[in-house]
Structure 1
Amino acid sequence: MAMKKGCTPSQLALAWVHHQGNGDCPIPGTTKVDNFNQNIAALSVKLAPLEMAELESFGADTVKGDRYADDLITWKNSDTPPLSSWKVV
């Protein structure tokens, strides 16, 4: 589909997130201007409802569960002190 849309697979993935319609905007990190420009170009990739449905069907039966294993330290199970206790230096 990326070839058909004239974009890279990464741009297609970013466009898919952007087209979810719930205000989410992906902000992938990069240290290279060329990569940043490629990411920004994803905003010009337009996806029709049928294309969105096709993309969503690709992982419907294969993507399941949480992103991280339960024993992996993430923001979900960290011991970060409450914001009210933080001191500005």
Structure 2
Amino acid sequence: MFLPRFQPENLEHNKLIFELVNEMATRKECTHSQLALAWVHHQGSHVCLIPGTTKIENFEQNFRALSVKLTSEEMAKLESLASVDAVKGDRYGGTSATWRESETPDLSSWKGE
């Protein structure tokens, strides 16, 4: 399968982003996966974490992400690292439908209850 993010012209750049995330995870004393789940959890009450797992030890690791606290500065840093402009190469090789083809309205247009 052709995965543009892992092609040589993009891989070194994206590897640097991964290393920055790992450094933050190390400072937060968590895994990079826990940091990613914590980032999603900190998006607001309109987001619900649903990590899939088939092993109890992975479930326990995922659950520990809820105790990872992120500052607004850390959230901003993670946002910048995960932005569409920061990561080089498409996620898929153009053969799969992605969010770009969706009709999901922009989050700013949603009405909270």
Equivalent residue for 2:86, pick from 52, 62, 86? 62
| Larger RCO of the pair (alpha carbons < 8 Å, separation 6+) | 2
| Counterpart in the other structure of 1:46 | 69
Number of equivalent positions: 75
| Runs of 4+ that moved beyond 6 A | 66-70
TM-score by length of 1: 0.69
**TM-score of the two chains, using structure 2 as the length reference:** 0.55
Counting aligned pairs with the same residue, the percent is 64
Equivalent residue of 1:46, what SS? coil
Q: What corresponds to 1:79 in structure 2? A: none
Bigger helix fraction: 2
Gaps of 5+ in 2: 1-23, 102-113
Larger Rg: 1
CA distance in 2 between partners of 1:58 and 1:3 (Å)? 16
Segments of 5+ residues of structure 1 without an aligned counterpart are 77-89
**How large is the RMSD of aligned CA atoms in angstroms?**
2.6
- Alignment equivalent of 1:7, drawn from 9, 15, 30: 30
